[in-house]
């Protein structure tokens, strides 16, 4: 039997599983009732755990905990979910730093990867039943702005569901694959993804089979549900009696459902009747009126698009096509607005609810080894590096590097006899470590006690095709090593990514000055230490008294300058001291001073780096 790798769209509201048939067609797998979508909802009750449609039915049952939108929590720490916690209606507790939903009936806590795993297992079972064979490998999609921790958490969810996740791919990349882009069709494509609750916009550059996300933007709280609410609000405004009734939540629910129905109906007709005898309400909604109601949302979405274009330094004229993703792109006013904004062809022939899953299936099929015509690569959304002495960031993998990627750099110690070094892994664009995101810390011990600057410590960053980062530190003479695979307890949403980039940009000048100063002081201190050590060791036979006094004076001067904030001055005076000690250094050729490795030094374990 042929090996089948499935593609899975693990969505905020819905999830789907798809595969590529022998005849080359991509097919979304239906459930027993023929439904393609699976609500990403899990319900915990006394009589068991339900997933999907049957879980969603429990939404008003007071005896049941109904978990939805768990994707918003994926790969984030408890603290990072504060804003989400305020809007979610199910309880979330701090479980070892991670957010978790208590399951009172089974005396356990469910973390976001475990919730994701329940949804994934349902899809896996669905696929196995439909295909009559075991399905154990998958490609899963995530938003382009997901960071390493969020991708790792998604991968963990797959593993918990019994799936080997061959690759995590970006949703916009999947959408492009569903349209056959990448195999011969290169260009810059805009992916406009408007769902029920979120809006994601990405610019995807496709060249020679390489998919590079050039920019992302969006709004985590903009989607079809907002339009439904806007319609309901308009009805309440024109009908005060209805407004009083809508205090009751079941009336609000009824109105919202009706608003959605009418909204969808207005895709095929220009006017729709609303008749709700239960609340004595009757009206007509025209397409023109509805369009006017959603106009503010159209503006909001387009301003995200403008920001992404600006970030990527491109104009609409550079864009070759626009791919529509998400149920709300069926809204004619949005289609029209997007078409007018770009003046480019719209890719809308694939069902916008299925397009991501279908693209994931295309990628899954490629990884199954049946097709060899496509290579799929994505990029790192933010730079990755480590902290070096003085609390500065040393970048190993710059942002927008195509993954998989590997980078190696040599570092050394700062203190004589230092046997432990602290590796602090950072993510972000700022010069100082404290301004970047801390991803992990680990210690390399067993470094031979040698003079500062002598050990050679090789730090390797390796990002696999799924964006999972492994950092390894290795002392070269002894081979002692230590490593870390980044854990999913840290998270970022795309607003954070955008803010981080904005912050880095706005602080660029002062960061540069701080960096210059810190680097200059570190360098100065290294030279002072070496000089003072040498002065202690040598007598007037090697160093004439007059030279000694000149050197001592320069050391004093440099120390005073180091108390100030002028990095250039510190650097100039360090160079002056270097010049004064040059003849002495030459004479001490065989001693440790001249052994100094001109690499960057790592902090001592637990040491202060300032």
Q: Which is nearer to ligand AMP, 144 or 367 (CB)?
A: 144
Binding pattern for the stretch 529-548 against ligand AMP, x by CB under 6 A and - elsewhere? --------------------
Distance CA 542, CA 225 (A): 82
User: Among the options 171, 200, 228, 475, which is catalytic?
Assistant: 171
Do the strands 137-142 and 6-10 form a parallel or antiparallel pair, or are they unpaired?
parallel
Size of the site for ligand AMP (CB under 6 A): 17
| 330 closest CA partner among 268, 241, 280, 404 | 268
User: Among the options 193, 348, 353, 358, which is catalytic?
Assistant: 193
Active site residue 193: yes
Among 225, 258, 435, 573, binds ligand AMP (CB under 6 A): 225
Is 52:33 a contact under the CB 8 Å cutoff?
A: no
Provide the b/e sequence for 143-167 (b: ≥16 CB within 10 Å).
Answer: bbbbbbbbbbbbbbbbebbebebbb
- Residue 330 touches ligand AMP, criterion: CB under 6 A: yes
Q: Which is nearer to ligand AMP, 188 or 264 (CB)?
A: 264
Residue with tokens 């970030």: 311
Nearest distance from C-beta of residue 329 to ligand AMP, angstroms: 8
Among 9, 148, 348, 353, binds ligand AMP (CB under 6 A): 353
Among 201, 331, 414, 490, binds ligand AMP (CB under 6 A): 331
Nearest distance from C-beta of residue 14 to ligand AMP, angstroms: 5
Q: Segment near ligand AMP (CB under 6 A), from 124-132, 167-175, 293-301, 320-328?
A: 320-328
Distance CA 152, CA 158 (A): 10
Helix (H) or strand (E) holding 531: helix 508-537
Structure tokens at 359: 């693209």
| 72 closest CA partner among 16, 12, 119 | 12
Q: Which is nearer to ligand AMP, 253 or 572 (CB)?
A: 253
Structure tokens at 204: 């995807």
Distance CA 488, CA 75 (A): 5
Helix (H) or strand (E) holding 130: helix 112-131
Peptide bond preceding 404 in cis form (omega within 30 of 0) = yes
- Residue 326 touches ligand AMP, criterion: CB under 6 A: yes
Structure tokens at 408: 């190696």
Active site residue 429: no
Binding to ligand AMP in span 252-271, by CB under 6 A:
260, 263-264, 267
- Residue 195 touches ligand AMP, criterion: CB under 6 A: yes
Q: Using CB atoms, what's the residue nearest to ligand AMP?
A: 224
Distance CA 519, CA 540 (A): 33
- Residue 13 touches ligand AMP, criterion: CB under 6 A: yes
Nearest distance from C-beta of residue 228 to ligand AMP, angstroms: 7
Among 7, 39, 327, 381, binds ligand AMP (CB under 6 A): 327
- Residue 328 touches ligand AMP, criterion: CB under 6 A: yes
Binding to ligand AMP in span 445-484, by CB under 6 A:
none
- Residue 224 touches ligand AMP, criterion: CB under 6 A: yes
For every residue of 579-601, DSSP letters joined together read HHHHHHHHHTTTSHHHH---SEE
Active site residue 156: no
Q: Segment near ligand AMP (CB under 6 A), from 26-34, 148-156, 204-212, 218-226?
A: 218-226
**Dmax (CA) of the chain:** 108
For every residue of 349-389, DSSP letters joined together read SS-TTTHHHHHHHHHHHHHTTS--S----EE-SS-EEEEET
User: Among the options 71, 155, 263, 494, which is catalytic?
Assistant: 71
- Residue 359 touches ligand AMP, criterion: CB under 6 A: no
Q: Which is nearer to ligand AMP, 346 or 580 (CB)?
A: 346
Active site residue 409: no
Residues annotated as catalytic are 9, 71, 171, 193
Residues in contact with ligand AMP by CB under 6 A are 13-14, 195-196, 223-225, 260, 263-264, 267, 326-328, 330-331, 353
């Amino acid at each position: 039997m042929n090996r089948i790798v499935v593609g899975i769209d693990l969505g905020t509201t819905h999830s789907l599983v798809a595969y590529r048939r022998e005849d080359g067609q991509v097919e979304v797998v239906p459930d027993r009732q023929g439904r393609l979508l699976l609500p990403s909802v899990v319900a915990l009750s006394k009589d068991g755990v339900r997933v999907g449609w049957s879980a969603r039915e429990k939404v008003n049952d007071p005896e049941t905990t109904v978990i939805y939108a768990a994707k918003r929590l994926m790969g984030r720490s408890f603290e990072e979910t504060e804003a989400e916690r305020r809007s979610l209606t199910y309880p979330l507790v701090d479980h070892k730093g991670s957010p978790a939903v208590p399951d009172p009936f089974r005396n356990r806590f469910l973390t976001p990867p475990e919730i994701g795993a329940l949804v994934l297992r349902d899809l896996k079972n669905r696929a196995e039943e439909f295909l009559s064979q075991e399905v154990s490998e998958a490609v899963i999609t995530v938003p382009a702005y997901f960071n390493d921790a969020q991708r790792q958490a998604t991968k963990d969810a797959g593993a918990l569901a019994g799936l080997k996740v061959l690759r995590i791919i970006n949703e916009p990349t999947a959408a492009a694959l569903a349209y056959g882009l990448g195999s011969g069709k290169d260009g810059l494509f805009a992916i406009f993804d408007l769902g029920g609750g979120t809006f994601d916009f990405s610019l995807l550059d496709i060249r020679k089979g390489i998919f590079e996300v050039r920019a992302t933007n969006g709004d985590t709280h903009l989607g079809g549900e907002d339009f439904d609410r806007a319609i309901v609000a308009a009805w309440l405004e024109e009908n005060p009696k209805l407004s009083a009734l809508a205090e009751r939540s079941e009336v609000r629910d009824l109105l919202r459902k009706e608003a959605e129905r009418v909204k969808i109906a207005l895709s095929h007709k220009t006017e729709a009747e609303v008749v709700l005898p239960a609340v004595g309400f009757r009206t007509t909604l025209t397409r023109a009126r509805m369009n006017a109601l959603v106009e503010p949302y159209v503006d909001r979405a387009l301003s995200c698009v403008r920001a992404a274009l600006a970030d990527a330094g491109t104009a609409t004229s550079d864009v070759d096509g626009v791919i529509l993703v998400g149920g709300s792109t069926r809204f004619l006013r949005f289609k029209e607005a997007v078409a007018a904004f770009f003046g480019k062809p719209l890719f809308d022939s694939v069902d916008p609810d299925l397009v991501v899953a279908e693209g994931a299936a295309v990628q899954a099929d490629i990884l199954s080894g049946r097709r060899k015509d496509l290579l799929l690569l994505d990029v790192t959304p933010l730079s990755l590096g480590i902290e070096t002495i003085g609390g500065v960031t040393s970048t190993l993998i710059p942002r927008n590097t195509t993954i998989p990627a590997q980078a190696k750099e040599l570092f050394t110690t700062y203190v004589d006899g230092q046997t432990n070094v602290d590796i602090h892994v950072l993510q972000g664009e700022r010069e100082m470590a404290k301004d970047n995101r801390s991803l992990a810390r680990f210690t390399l011990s067993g470094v031979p006690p040698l003079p500062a600057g002598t050990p050679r410590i090789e730090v390797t960053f390796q990002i696999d095709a799924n964006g999972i980062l492994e950092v390894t530190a290795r002392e070269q003479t002894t081979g002692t090593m230590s490593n870390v695979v980044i854990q999913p307890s840290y998270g970022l949403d795309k607003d954070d990514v955008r803010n981080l980039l904005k912050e880095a940009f706005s602080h660029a000048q002062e960061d540069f000055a701080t960096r210059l100063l810190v680097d200059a002081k570190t360098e100065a201190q290294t030279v002072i230490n070496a000089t003072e050590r040498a002065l202690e060791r040598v007598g007037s036979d090697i160093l004439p008294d007059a030279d000694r006094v000149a050197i001592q004076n320069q050391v004093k001067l440099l120390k005073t300058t180091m108390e100030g904030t002028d990095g250039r001055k510190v650097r100039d005076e360090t160079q002056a001291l270097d010049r004064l000690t040059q003849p002495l250094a030459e004479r001490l050729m065989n001693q440790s001073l001249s052994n100094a490795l001109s690499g960057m030094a790592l902090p001592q374990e637990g040491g202060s780096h300032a």
